[in-house]
Copies of this chain bind each other. A is one copy, B any other.
Amino acid sequence: MLTISNRGEQMPPSPIRKLVPYAEAAKKKGIHVYHLNIGQPDIETPPALMNAVRNADLKVLEYSHSAGNESYRRKLTEYYKSVGIDVDPNQILITTGGSEAILFGFFTCLNPGDEVIIPEPFYANYNGFACAAGVEVVPITAHIDNGFALPPIEDFEKAITAKTKAIIICSPNNPTGYLYSMEEMMALKAICLKHDLYLFSDEAYREFCYDGAYVSAMHIEGLEQHVVLMDTISKRYSACGARLGAFVTKNKEVYDAAMKFAQARLSPPGLAQIMGEAAVDLPASYFDAPKAEYLSRRNLLVKRLNQMEGVFCPNPGGAFYAIARLPIDDSDLFCLWLLESFSHDNATVMLAPATGFYGTPGLGKNEVRLAYVLNLDDLSKAMDCLEAALKVYPGRTKIDLKS
């Protein structure tokens, strides 16, 4: 009998995308769906990026260098310099989205059966890449009551075994929006040095920090050999569909090994690299408008959520996500019910159940993730929907005390 592989069976379906058929059914019934479930920004991709592709004079769209075009890597060093990261072109490996950078990290640094520690809730697709690479995810719980700050170092110490090889962080964080402080980064440094752990740093949301300063893992002196930066232009320039990222490390052995995986798949996308190169030439002021827009949205979202009875949402310092605690029995059921059985002014809201972002079973049952990727007007209407929904949801629990 033909069989699927174990990893094919165990591979988790995307928790963000599994509700999509229900959203489509709602739309077919004529109900408008406000999408706060996925990190697809509505911000316009800078026209200069598409224009660079339009104006490219290419006779043959050839394979690029497996590490990405040298001209692009050279250009990217300018960008990194502008955010305080000092790297050479030969420390940058251009990838197909941040996704491929994460996969290369697992392939290069961890054996099957090895463990990676990730503060939860975390970006759900880390599970998928870990499953593909045969790596075990060991979650350490961050808590909504302190805004999802880094869990105490003792929790890391307890979780570390002989098989632990790496820690993954994402700051500003998806799904919590939490922004690690320099103090928290120094705590991570200490533990990585003490136990010889790689620090995989997913910095997809670097440009969107509202309270407090952005600290890159690459800013930390003395951790150069341990850090692999996983980066992407998806959110930075609202160009998710380009599929262009980067795997950046000063550890030459890690870089050289990752390069072999890069060679096997030949090269990253060619047209996207043209976009990426043009993006570095955008004026620094380019980020002012999207950042201000996201900040207004965050302020609206957090305010509206905390005004709802029984709802608590910590104020996220960056990115464009928030996790809120709701007075509900089960976030999976609630998110499904919003699409199947509820409407308000002929509209409803699509949220991501937080259960998909926790590695520990049972956690996140009364939490949802909201991506503030809609304009203020739509966001406000989405909040109207949520407020109305919570009043009539059959699985509403007694009102929690706000933290």
Could you list which residues of chain A lie within 8 angstroms of chain B, going by C-beta atoms? 1-9, 11-14, 17, 38, 40-45, 49-50, 53-54, 56, 58-64, 66, 96-97, 99-100, 103, 107-112, 114, 125, 127-129, 132, 134, 165, 196, 198, 225-226, 238-243, 251, 253-254, 257-258, 260-261, 263-272, 275
Contacts and interface: CB of A to CB of B under 8 A. Distances in A.
A32 to B, nearest CB: 19
A241 B53 contact: no
Contacts of A261: 8, 11, 128, 132
A238 B62 CA distance: 8
B238 A60 contact: yes
Given A13-B260, A264-B99, A62 B241 contact: yes
Given A265-B99, A270-B242, A50 B58 contact: yes
A45 B58 contact: yes
B257 A5 contact: yes
Given A8-B107, A260-B8, A63 B132 contact: no
Nearest to A108: B8
Contacts of A271: 53, 241-242, 269, 271-272
Nearest to A242: B61
Contact of A41 (B9, B60, B226): B60
Given A8-B107, A58-B50, A107-B7, A128 B241 contact: no
Contacts of A44: 59-60
- Which of A11, A129, A271 has most B Cβ within 10 Å? A271
Contacts of A100: 265
- Which of A11, A56, A198 has most B Cβ within 10 Å? A11
13 contacts: A5-B111, A7-B107, A14-B260, A53-B54, A61-B238, A61-B241, A62-B240, A64-B241, A99-B264, A99-B266, A125-B265, A127-B264, A240-B266
Q: Shortest 6 CB-CB distances between A and B: which pairs?
A: A128-B264, A241-B270, A8-B257, A14-B263, A99-B265, A61-B241
Contacts of A243: 96, 266-270
Contacts of A42: 60
A111 B7 CA distance: 7
A11 B102 CA distance: 17
Contacts of A62: 40, 240-241
Contact of A6 (B111, B264, B272): B111
A4 B108 contact: yes
A129 B264 CA distance: 7
Given A3-B165, A60-B238, A61-B242, 18 more contacts: A2-B226, A5-B108, A5-B110, A7-B111, A8-B260, A11-B260, A11-B261, A14-B263, A38-B63, A43-B60, A62-B240, A62-B241, A125-B265, A128-B260, A129-B264, A243-B266, A243-B268, A271-B272
Contact of A54 (B2, B54, B125): B54
Contacts of A12: 260
Contacts of A13: 260, 263
Nearest to A64: B241
Contacts of A254: 2, 4, 8
Given A61-B45, A260-B8, A251 B99 contact: no
Nearest to A129: B264
Contacts of A2: 196, 198, 225-226, 251, 254
Contacts of A5: 107-111, 114, 257
B132 A134 contact: no
